[in-house]
Every structure is written in structure tokens, then in C-alpha cells.
Amino acid sequence: MELFKVMNLPDGHLLQNGKYRLTHVVGQGGFGITYRGVWYTEVKGSLGTVKTEVPICVKEYFFKDYCYRDPGSQAVKVHSETGKALFNKFKEKLIKEAKILSEVHHPYIVNVLEVFEENNTAYIAMEYISGFSLKYMLEKNGILPEATVLKYVRQIGEALQFVHDKSILHLDIKPSNILIDKNGNARLIDFGVSKRYDIEQEETSTTMLTLSKGFASIEQYDNEGTQVFSPRPDIYSLGATMYNLLTGKIPTESILRATRPLQKPSEINAAISPKTEAAIIKAMQIIPTDRFNTVGEMLASLDFSQAEKEVPVVSNPLPEFANEETTVIYSSSTDSKLAGSDDEETVINVVNPPIVEPVMEKKSSKKKIIPIGIAIFVVVGSATALLVHNNRPAEEVVGNIDLPSAADQDSSVMESVVVENVEMPNDSVSQVRRPVSEVKTEEQAPKVKEEQPSETEHTVEENVLPDQPSENEINEKYDSLITSGKEKMAKADYSGAKKDLSEAKDTKLTEEVVRLIIACDEKAEEKRIADKKAQYEEKMAFGRYKIVRKKSNNRYGAIDSKAEERIPCKYLSVGIADNGRAFEREDNLFDIYNSDGSLISEGLTYY
């Protein structure tokens, strides 16, 4: 615990010359510590200026694997030169990303108030949400009703649509990063590993390569898997979040699903509707292109008619931020796991646990069952002894009788067990238990025929499927298809390659073939976009778009990074206007567009 105290700033610590005061730690992970705090500010109103205290949360950038805190100055320092380079690189990107997010305001996203540097590190001051996370709700109350989950998914889905429209990926959707506020609404938090992309679809900002096991898509395990903007990683994580909330189970890690298939949600919770299950399964497809194309498409597939308007009551709600650690893939800390938890695969800080209110478990009622169990044991044992005494063959002996389990005691029919001596081939005696109802005397037992039917083995052999391929044949077919798929990819025959690779996947599901299919889809999409762009002559940048002239009609417009026309290519010429660009129409009037492709004026005689 001493190391835990050294890592964190002390309670009551002031930042920004007393503007913020930290009260206590509420969570920490591999690269950040979150504090509850107070913002001292002034509010102007009809009564004049009033000094007030606003509750906030402050996230401090602290790269745990490379940093330590100087106990005297409280400054964050780095152990090595290599660590210093990484620390500074990620700190700059974190600041850049946080400044972008400070301009992103949405009802279901926590607001970023300010980003600043102090103590040789970076801080993000955020809106304080009075409530609890979905992870806490799940631990406190068990699996959530489907209607409740759908309500929160719709809200978080709208928030994701909003950030995706701004070319931002969250990349860490999970129950602990979704808070339920005092009004019963979901709020998305922790954009610490999010990425923003520019017009060319290349990543422009990121904190580090990270993932939460069970909730991260397979492409997040690859350093280049999220270099091109796609909403599909967040769609996978939203589906995994639904899976977790409705089943209570952490989904099988995507990178392991080639050998450990994902159990259907309805097999764990039969109350899940077919429509919701179908949406979860589609959202969590291993191959990105098999998922929904957008969050909006995913939301459209769900039935929100029964979504609850009221939030289930959770006693002693805990204002909680992400208490589990999002894994840094190349970090040595990835081997740390929560002791005793086989399903929770998200790596957390076990040595230095976050300060949270413990969730008390209900006391077991097993002690109350013990006297009943003993009574049943005595009665059943006596009855069994009498029954066996009257019916047993000479060579049988009464052995130990198993005490029925708590589950068995609830059954209306209980069978006692006797132990028989069965003669084994090596003349040893082995104890075999079977119900009393099956024990028969010599007179009751049917006589064994001296001649056994010889057709038995022959019949079994006939039932074996003769066309079942051997393991060697399966491997040979798989290897042949993989080789063929790779050769076709090299020749840019992506449709042919996809066909071969899909057949290889059906033959034998491996991580290799999954990655090849993903790469094939990405290459095919790049070729499709390149072919579409070849239809235009690019002229100049216009905000996030490019002004172009379409070769087929020599008319001007604007396209986005996927060569989709955002301003139709129907104009004779383009000129500069005070508030955008003027596009000349066939009638020699002008339409004015701003840099986001919106038409702001039309039919002007001049500009």
C-alpha cells in the first residue's frame, strides 16, 4: 500500500494555483489516475457574482510502467531515457486529444472542462457525474433487464454516432466506462485511448495501443488494425457490453475465439429476445466487414419500444470511474489478472487496487441447511440399510452412502446408493456405485446369453461416416486455400482471395485466416476507393473534403475521403466566397457552400 500512496497525489492537493482541489482517488489504470475534486469558481447572476464550489473529476496522466512520483515536489518523473521518450510522446498526444474532446459536447458524453500541464504531466478536468457505472450495477444487482440495457445502448449509441461523425473512435467501450447519472441517463466517459482521423483517413492522434480484453475487437490487437477510420471496433465493443450486461459473463476474448467459440447469449440467459441476440452476434462478428456498417444501423436493428424509462434502484450508489485497467499491449503488466476471476480478462492493478467501496455479498444460507441434511442422511441411511439387508446377494456389502447435496435435497425423489464388489479382469475389487432401484437379486437379474451377437461391432462400423476427412486432409485443404488466397491478394484479385479465404475459414478456423480476411477486406476497400477517386481530378482542399472535377462530365463538386460526393459534381466553376466556396450553376447563378459541405445560400447573382 505504500507504493499506492506514493503514486497518487495526496488528498487536498491543489492544482492551477488553487483553482482545483483534489479530495480523493476514485480510480486508476495503466496510464492514468482519476481523482474526485472541487473547482473553485464564480457564478454571475441576478444577485451579482457568487463564489461557489463545483464538484469535478480530474484525470492525471501517469504512465504506471515508466513513472514514479517525487515525494517532495509531487512531480511525475520517468525511470529511463527510453521511458521518457514514450512518456513525452503520449503526453503530447493526450493533450491534443483532450483539447479536441473539450469541444465535443453531447448529452450522453461527460464534458471535458479544461486541459492543462503541471507537475511535469498533463491533467484533464472533467464534469463530475453523481451516479454509478454499469459495471457496478451489474456487480450489485446481477444481470440487467433487457429493456434497461436497450435504453442505455440507445443513449450510448447516439453518443458514438456523434463522435464517429467527427472521425473520432472511443476504442474502450465497456460497462465501467458508462456511468448512470442521477437522472437515470447513461454517460460515456474515458476517451483516454480514443483516436481522431483526418480527411485522408489516417490516424492523427492517439494515446497508445491499448485494449480491454473481452471487449476489444480483434483489429485492436494489431498495431495497424485501427490506422484507417472505421466505426466497427466501437460497434464490436458495444455488442460485447450488451453481452456482458445481459449474461453477467465477460465475452471470450476476440483473439481467442478461433479456438474458443463465443457462447450464444440466450444459452446463458434464456430471457434475451431473438432480435437483441441477433444484433449482439452481428455486432461481435470477428471479421469487421461482417458487422454493422454504422452504429445507426445497429440501433435500427434493435427494438426500443419496451426500453425502460426508470433506472433500477441501486443501494448506496457509488460515483465510480474506470477501476479496471485498460491493457497496454506491449506492457509487462498484461500478465497481471484479478485473482480468482476466470471470466474477467481485463487486466487490473492488483498490487495497488483503486479505493472503492466494497460490494458486500449476501451471507450464504448453507449453515441453515446442514441440520436438515443430517436428518435426511439419517432417515435415508436407515431405510437404505434395511432395504439392502433384505434384498442383497450374498457377495454384496453395504458401503458408504453419499450425503445428498443441497441441490439434491430439493428434489422430491431421492435415491440411495449401494456399493458393489465387481470382479475386474485383474482380479482386483473396485467399488462401483449405482442406485438401489437398479440392484437386482440373482433371481431378478436376466440371464446373460452365452453367445453374444457378432453383428454389434459390424453395425457400429457401418454407422461411421465414410466420407469424413482426416486431420491431414483438412490441413492440406486449409494450406492450399491459404496459399491460393495469398497469391490472389498479391495480384489484387480480392474477390477471388476472399472466396478462398472464406472457404479456408470454414475448413479450419484459425487466427491466421481471420487476419488474412481482415487484410483482404481492407485492401479491397482501398482499391474500391482508389478506383472511385480515379474518376475525379482533385483541385484543392475544402475543409475535410476535396474540390474536384468529375472526368465524365467536366463538372465541379466536392468529395470526401471515400470518394463520396458531398457537393454534387454539377457545377460549371468554383470561386472563393466570404464564408465558403461559390459554385456556378447552369443558369449562371451561384450556390454557396461552407467547409462542412452544407448549402448556406443558393441562386445568388454574385458572391
Render pLDDT for 32-50 as a digit per residue (tens, 0 to 9). 898 999 999 887 777 777 8
Of the candidate ranges 223-237, 292-306, 442-456, the one whose mean pLDDT is the lowest: 442-456
In a domain, 452, yes or no: no
Same domain, 52 and 188: yes
Which residues, 6+ apart, have CB-to-CB distance to 519 below 8 Å?
Answer: 489
| Half-sphere CA count of 80, side-chain side, radius 13 A | 5
In a domain, 316, yes or no: yes
Which residues, 6+ apart, have CB-to-CB distance to 362 below 8 Å?
Answer: none
pLDDT at position 467: 64
Type of residue numbered 331: S
- Last residue of some domain: 335, 361, 393? 335
- Last residue of some domain: 532, 548, 583? 532
In a domain, 443, yes or no: no
When comparing pLDDT for 524 and 368, which is higher? Answer: 524
Q: SS3 for 379?
A: helix
Mean pLDDT of 482-507: 92
Degrees to nearest 5, angle at CA 188 with 184 and 189: 120
In a domain, 241, yes or no: yes
Q: How many Å apart are CA 327 and CA 333, to the nearest integer? A: 8
The whole-model pTM stands at: 0.58
In a domain, 206, yes or no: yes
Type of residue numbered 380: V
Question: Considering Cα of 563, then 567, then 568, then 569, what sign does the dihedral take?
Answer: negative
- Last residue of some domain: 335, 353, 384? 335
CATH number, domain containing residue 547: 2.40.10
Same domain, 69 and 164: yes
Which residues, 6+ apart, have CB-to-CB distance to 480 below 8 Å?
Answer: none
Q: How many Å apart are CA 292 and CA 279, to the nearest integer? A: 9
Same domain, 493 and 545: no
Same domain, 527 and 543: no
pLDDT at position 203: 45
Same domain, 323 and 201: yes
pLDDT at position 396: 38
Cell numbers describing residue 494 = 480480392
Most confident listed range (95-104, 206-215, 449-458): 95-104
Same domain, 252 and 377: no
Same domain, 521 and 547: no
Q: Which of 196, 230, 236, 191 is nearest to 216 (CA)?
A: 236
Same domain, 108 and 194: yes
Which residues, 6+ apart, have CB-to-CB distance to 157 below 8 Å?
Answer: 238, 295, 296, 298, 299
How many structural domains compose the chain? 4
Is the predicted pLDDT of residue 249 greater than 80, yes or no? yes
In a domain, 253, yes or no: yes
Q: Residue 193 CB: number of other CB atoms within 10 A?
A: 25
Domain span at residue 489?
471-532
Most confident listed range (217-226, 321-330, 533-542): 533-542
Q: How many Å apart are CA 301 and CA 282, to the nearest integer? A: 10
Same domain, 526 and 542: no
| Strand residue runs (E) in 364-428 | 417-423
Q: Which of 421, 358, 393, 396 is nearest to 140 (CA)?
A: 358
Q: What is the b/e burial string over 330-364, where b = at least 16 CB atoms within 10 angstroms of the residue's CB? A: ebebeebebeeeeebbbbbbeebebeeeeeeeeee
Same domain, 515 and 565: no
In a domain, 37, yes or no: yes
Same domain, 498 and 585: no
Q: List, for residues 155-181, the tens digit of each pLDDT value.
A: 999 999 998 988 888 888 999 999 998
Same domain, 527 and 546: no
Band of the pLDDT at 536, cuts 50, 70, 90? very high
Q: How many Å apart are CA 319 and CA 25, to the nearest integer? A: 11
In a domain, 464, yes or no: no
